[in-house]
Amino acid sequence: MVYSTDPRFSFETHEETDPETLSPEKQTLRILLSTKHRKGKKVTLITGFIGKPDDLKSLEKDLKSRFATGGSSKNNEIVLQGDFREEAGKYLRSKGYIIKGIHTL
């Protein structure tokens, strides 16, 4: 908080807003396989999503039910338990997303 004796001073807040969700055709996603910090267990990471957290959660839920697996989403990243790189790539391409590389970390 800033205190001022200037009568013309106005306090402005900079509220962060969620970015608008881009259409699938405008989004480039990366699919990675990772075992880091997971005691050797494999997880599929889908990164690069641009949009609202609710839309990310919806895509995560769709992928988890499609592949009958667990997972989570946060910070514009979806984590699926297990190796679903190829299947997720095919599914996301069918939804219109651009997939740029399927890698292993």
φ and ψ at residue 17, rounded to 5 degrees: -110, 150
Reported in sequence order, the residue ranges of the chain that DSSP labels E, i.e. its strands, are 28-34, 43-47, 71-74, 77-81, 98-104
pLDDT in tens, 79-94: 999 999 999 999 999 9
pLDDT in tens, 12-62: 776 666 678 889 999 999 999 998 888 889 999 999 999 999 999 999 999
What is the domain extent for residue 65?
Answer: 38-104
In a domain, 20, yes or no: no
Q: Which residues, at least 6 apart from 34, have a Cβ–Cβ distance to it below 8 Å?
A: 42, 43, 44, 45, 104, 105
Q: Residue 57 maps to which CATH number?
A: 3.30.780.10
How many domains does the chain divide into? Answer: 1
In a domain, 86, yes or no: yes
In a domain, 26, yes or no: no
pLDDT in tens, 91-101: 999 999 999 87
The pTM of this model reads 0.79
In the predicted structure, residue 104 carries a pLDDT above the cut 80? no
In a domain, 12, yes or no: no
